[in-house]
């Protein structure tokens, strides 16, 4: 698995767009909206090497902060311009409040791509990158408010260990969110999806990334992954409460959610 992601790191985003016709961006937006982070939220994004979730999180928190500031200024119509200027100055200094996102990935190449993208897109504040294994996270207990893993959990060797680690590093009251390919509910769509996955995706991998085998593996890993109800049970077994899932695109992907109480 490590080799697969080392091979595809450079072309990972281009391939994501090609394989999903760009819809992966909408799925990730939905994940962050479901999270609904507020300024001060501490997030760990596991297997998030390219930064897709981290950048969305930062944008979301920034816009919440901006809205909060405008509401505050509206409520105090009689503020002097010096006080208004001071408020905006504070916003410039801390646009995320005390929010932080830690991107943790086992693969150095994926982290390298993520850091380059962050630099290129101008993300630096409130963002850190850590090399680490989802099954043995290099963080203290009860540290994070939210744990996300998007299209990563099916590639861990032991899903149960990764879920236990997610539980361990979350604070009491913390939230687990997982976005992953899942089982399509509609039989006709399922057949078409299989055809597309096995006949088209490896060919795209060869054309775009020069790598048939890695994308053949990725397709097979999707088929071997537990369906929605089974994953829900595994998340509950790890200790999470209020576990549910939301199917997107007829179950091509699903967002599973749970809380550490």
Q: Write phi, then psi, for 32 (nearest 5 degrees).
A: -70, -35
In this structure, the strands spanning 253-259 and 170-181 are antiparallel
Taking the C-alpha atoms of residue 195 and residue 122, their distance in angstroms, rounded to an integer, is: 40
Question: Which residue has tokens 């897109």?
Answer: 121
Model-level pTM?
0.88
The sheet with strand 42-46 has its strands ordered as: 127-131, 100-105, 42-46, 144-150, 170-181, 253-259, 241-248
Mean pLDDT in the chain? Answer: 89
Domain boundaries, the chain: 2-182+225-260
- Averaged pLDDT, 240-245: 98
How sure is the predictor about 127, in pLDDT bands with cuts at 50, 70 and 90?
A: very high
- Tell me the C-alpha to C-alpha distance, in Å, between residue 239 and each of 35, 164, 178, 180: 20, 8, 15, 20
In tens, the pLDDT along 152-197 reads 999 899 999 999 999 999 999 999 999 999 999 888 998 998 888 8
Which of 199-213, 215-229, 247-261 is most confident? 247-261
User: Do residues 248 and 227 make contact, with C-beta atoms less than 8 angstroms apart?
Assistant: no
| CATH number of the 2-182+225-260 domain | 3.40.50.150
List residues bridging with 179 in a β-sheet. 150, 255
């Amino acid at each position: 698995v490590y080799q697969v992601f080392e091979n595809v790191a450079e072309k990972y985003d281009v391939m994501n767009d090609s394989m999903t016709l760009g819809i992966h961006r909408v799925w990730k937006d939905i994940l962050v909206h479901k999270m609904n982070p507020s300024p001060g939220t501490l997030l760990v994004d596991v297997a998030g090497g390219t930064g897709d979730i981290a950048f969305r999180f930062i944008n979301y928190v920034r816009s919440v902060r901006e809205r909060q500031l405008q509401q505050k200024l509206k409520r105090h119509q009689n503020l002097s311009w010096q006080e208004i200027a001071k408020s905006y100055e504070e916003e410039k200094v801390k646009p995320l409040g005390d929010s932080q996102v830690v991107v943790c990935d086992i693969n150095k190449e994926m982290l390298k791509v993520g850091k380059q993208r962050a630099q290129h897109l101008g993300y630096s504040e409130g963002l850190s990158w850590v090399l680490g294994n989802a099954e043995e996270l290099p963080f203290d207990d009860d540290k994070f408010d939210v744990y996300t893993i998007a299209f990563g959990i099916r590639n861990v060797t032991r899903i149960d260990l990764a879920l236990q680690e997610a539980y361990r590093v979350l604070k009491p009251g913390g939230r687990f969110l997982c976005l992953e390919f899942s089982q399509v509910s509609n039989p006709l769509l399922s057949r078409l999806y299989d055809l597309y996955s096995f006949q088209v995706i490896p060919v795209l991998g060869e054309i775009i990334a020069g790598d048939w085998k890695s994308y053949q593996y990725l397709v097979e890993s999707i088929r071997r992954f537990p369906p929605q109800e089974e994953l829900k049970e595994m998340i509950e077994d790890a200790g999470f409460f209020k576990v549910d899932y939301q199917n997107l695109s007829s179950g091509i992907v699903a967002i599973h959610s749970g809380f550490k109480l």
